[in-house]
Structure 1
Amino acid sequence: MLKKWKQKLIVIFSAILMLSTLALAPTQANAAVTNISAKAGLAVDAKTGQILYSKNSSKVMPIASMSKMLAIYIILKSIHEGKLKWDQRVHVSANVAKISRNTELTNVPLNASRTYTVRDLYKASLIYSANAAVIALGVAQAGSSEKFVNEMRAQVNAWGITDAKLYNAAGLTESEVGTEAYPNTAKSAENEMSANDVAVVASKLVNTYPEVLNTTKETSAWFAKGTDDAVKMTTHNEMLAGDENYMKGYNVDGLKTGTSDKAGNCFTGTANKNGHRVITVVMNANPGKKADARFTNTETIMKYVYTNFTPIRYKKGEQLKQANKFKVPEGKTTTVKAGISQATTIWVANKQSKQAISFISNQTKKNLTAPVTKGQKLGTATAKIADKNVSYLQAGDAKLQLVAKKSVEKANIFVRMWRSVVSVF
């Protein structure tokens, strides 16, 4: 009898040990990545905004030249709207030219007696992180640096970012931009955002204007070639093909570095591995120490994401578990099948499968009335993985739009009356 109890205790103990190991597995995997030196870090799915790794990601910190992603978004928006043209010539003010000659800053030399194309300034801003070039673009687009910063502020507010501090297009301190400084600001002020905010900007830029990656993946280019101000620009992104921190098989093709005394070494990166694009943000990685820490930190995060998670695809129109139909009391059929309005991806831990994902639906209208047309919006669904909510950059990212998979006509009056009678009993 005692022997049997001993065997049972061994079985029970083994089961507890196994469950404990499984429970600790995600924590242990995450522990490896929390060793990054950066004060803040983040990884998200570029399209959906699903958060795959986070460290102090809501803390607002200086972002230095990562500011240029927001500036470039507005420039590309203006080009798409026809307000700016790629071959448009841009005049440079004496102050902007002076900024460009500051050897302590990253720049291409600009001359107030010359003009430069929007395309040339755009490429200098992204490839070489040229500060005066992006300020010149902002002035050309909005009429003044102040007006351009107002547009930057309005844009992030429209995206739901309320904690950003923005003063100039380049991400320099106000003392470094001279008369281009925003009115009534301290000389020490510089742009600040959280890693979450930066990821929102990066995802909006990449998803709305994917052509930006054709430039951010360039490792070098000429500026003002053929003039006495010609510069062979070399990217600061050391994770591109051919550079020392290149990651074979990860297809890193962007996005933007940032460096300042307060910001330390920062980097917003993006990789497209096996058709799944991820955006990473690293902020203040080893300030004053190794400049490449931002890249090794990024490599650690990217490897963590692609090694420990599996992306589960859902096709457009696919029905979701527990959110696949809605009641239509007055329809010829009393329910209508629902599917998602567009394809999406949900990442799960490697030990999990699609079966671990469930959904909660929320009907748009309290009572769905017939007729229902195919493609009509019925409600939204939010995902859970193993009964835990999935984290996203913004609240709206979590909602998947559900639409009717087919039309449902209204039942005739006799059918509706009969249903009313039956419902009483």
Structure 2
Amino acid sequence: MTKFKQKIAIIFSVLLMMSALLAAPLHAQAATASIDAKAGIAVDAKTGQILYSKNSNQVLPIASMSKMLAVYLILKSIHSGQLKWNQRVHVNAEIAKISQNTELTNVTLNQSRTYTVRDLYKAALIYSANAAIMALGIAQAGSSKAFVNEMRTQVQKWGISDAKLYNAAGLTESEVGSEAYPNTAKNAENEMSAKDVAIVASKLLQAYPEVLQTTKQMKAWFAKGTSDAVEMTTHNYMLPGQADYLKGYEVDGLKTGTSDKAQACFTGTVKKNGHRIITVVMGASSKSNGNARFTNTQTIMKTVYTNFKPVRYKKGASLKRVTNFKVPDGKTTTVKAGIAHGTTIWVAKNQSANAVRFNSTQIQKKAGVAAPVAKNQKLGTATAQIDGQNVLYLQKKDAQITLRAKTSVAKANILVRLWRSFVGLF
């Protein structure tokens, strides 16, 4: 009977431990998933919160994912009026030669013809046409070198310091002939980390979301009605109706990349349940097995949406632990704070919003906020923590949540302020 009781006790103890493990919240802030790739990352497209990461700081070749940065600059020029959609573009002899290299992805460009900015733009995004994006870069900046200089300047403005950029297309320098950047090795090609690529993709989507209207297209004609006409087919096999489409995940972008050094890469994006994420997979497989980048992307996307849920904070919402700021010389000695912009913080599926805590940095820490305080005046910033750990973001500034005054506070009269000072002595 004693042995039986011991067995029952052991079984009961095991069941208790198992139930405790099942009930325990998922503390990891970034999802864990096994992918067969050199590097990868998943982030919230708006906030930059990191939801998955593998070797995301390692600088690697990015091949045609480079075109996202080039397209950002082209769209920037179009929005500023520097370029027009219907503007005709001439191509030089070297660009025409590159376009006729059958070992590269291209649409044929002819020196005797001109092409619209719109046609070249669509060819670059849908078909990953290398000469097309280089022709756009020259049309925008005047030369390939000048355009690459703009690319370098732009990533520096975004805080990306370890990128290596040589041409708009992501080809090796030997493949672009005389359009190569001066004094670079022939085997040099563009390199960034997965985190860098995610920053570029997020900046592109935030500034020019209309890019998705092009990247979601599976087919389009180039130079229709001419001898160079070609019906372009997307290389993004995760789009609806394609071989690697994942039911329930309506992928609508962004850009593939393939080279001997980069192997198969893919920057993807999907909006599910009202929340968009960006994924990057780098070095997924050899060029001959390009689908691995898509199956790895599927794994990351499913892992994020299965294991995490977004907690939404509306504009003006008060955050726990940073609700009030001191106003020592105000008519009222505190002012309520609200967030300047709506934001989202992802938590584990089995966690509640209470798992998120906030810490604030007040503009004037010791003295408090000086009166008078105007409504919507910036009071400071807040950062989020989950289970005592800082929430991870693409960039440090992404973690900063701006806090503004929800009401105005007038300055107290001199007698009140003197009385407060006197009472403070005791």
Whether TM-score is above 0.5 comes out as yes
Question: Could you tell me which residue of structure 2 aligns to residue 227 of structure 1?
Answer: 226
Residue aligned with 1:342, SS: coil
**Residues 1:40 and 2:39 are matched in the alignment:** yes
Q: Which residue of the partner structure matches residue 68 of structure 1?
A: 67
Residues 86-130 of structure 1: per-residue CA shift (max 9 Å, x gap): 111111001000000000000000001111111110000000000
- Residues 132-172 of structure 1 show CA distances to partners (whole Å, capped at 9, x for unaligned) of 00000000000000000000000000000000000000000
1:192 Cα offset (Å): 0.2
Structure 1 position 417, deviation (Å): 1.1
Alpha-carbon spacing, 1:152–1:392, altered in 2? closer, same or farther (3 Å):
same
CA drift at 1:404: 0.3
Deviations 1:317-371 (A, max 9, x none): 0000111111000001000000100000000001101010000000123331000
Whole-angstrom CA distance in 2 between matches of 1:233 and 1:208: 26
Aligned to 1:399: 400
Is the Cα–Cα contact under 8 Å of residues 258 and 287 in structure 2 kept in the other structure? Answer: no
Rounded to whole Å, the distance in 2 between the matches of 1:283 and 1:107 is 22
Which residue in the other structure is 1:117 paired with? 116
Distance in 1 separating the partners of 2:338 and 2:12 = 45
Task: Note closer, same or farther for the CA distance 1:197–1:255 as it changes in structure 2 (3 Å cut).
Answer: same
Q: Which has the larger displacement, 84-93 or 282-291?
A: 282-291
C-alpha distance 10-228 of structure 1, shift in aligned 2 (>3 A): closer
**What pairs with 1:66-215 in structure 2 (closer than 5 Å)?**
66-215=65-214
Distance in 2 separating the partners of 1:381 and 1:167: 39
Shift of 1:13: 7.0
- The 1:288/1:211 distance shift into structure 2, 3 A limit, reads closer
Distance 1:234 1:218 in 2: 9
Q: CA offsets per residue over residues 174-220 of structure 1, 9 Å max, x none?
A: 00000000000000000000000000000000011000000000101
Whether the 8 Å CA contact 2:25–2:351 is kept in 1: the answer is no
Count of aligned pairs: 420
Match of 2:418 in 1: 417
Shift of 1:273: 0.4
Q: In the alignment, what sits opposite 2:383? A: 382
Structure 1 residues 12, 379: CA separation in 2 closer, same or farther (over 3 Å shift)?
Answer: farther
Residue number in structure 2 paired with 1:237: 236
Q: What is the alpha-carbon distance in structure 2 between the residues aligned to residue 25 and residue 357 of structure 1?
A: 13
Moved more, 9-18 or 213-222: 9-18
Is the partner of 1:132 in helix, strand or coil?
helix
Q: How far is the alpha carbon of 1:386 from its aligned partner?
A: 1.4
Where 2:398 maps in the other structure, the secondary structure is helix
Q: Structure 1 residues 11, 360: closer, same or farther in 2, change over 3 A?
A: farther
- In 1, Cα distance between equivalents of 2:88 and 2:189: 29
Change (3 A) 1:411 1:349: same
State the AA in 2 paired with 1:109.
T
Contact 2:26 2:348 in 1 (8 A): no
Query: Tell me, what secondary structure is at the counterpart of 2:228?
Result: coil
Q: Residue deviations 1:14-55, cap 9 Å, x none? A: 66555555669667x955x22x11111110000000000000
- 2:301 aligned partner: 302
Amino acid of the structure 2 residue aligned with 1:175: S
Task: Extract unaligned runs of 5+ from structure 1.
Answer: none
Structure-2 residue corresponding to 1:372? 373
Q: Aligned residue for 2:282? A: 283
Aligned partners of 2:407 and 2:243: how far apart in 1?
A: 54
Q: Aligned partners of 1:286, 1:252: CA distance in 2, in Å? A: 21
Structure 1 segments (4+ residues) deviating >3 Å: 5-27
Name the structure 2 match of 1:321: 320
Name the structure 1 match of 2:269.
270
Deviation at 1:308, TM superposition (A): 0.6
* SS state at 2:209 partner: coil
Identical columns (%): 69
Does the residue aligned with 1:177 lie in a helix, a strand or coil? helix
CA RMSD of aligned residues (A): 2.0
Instruction: Name the CA shift for 1:395/1:414 in 2 (closer, same or farther; >3 Å).
Output: same
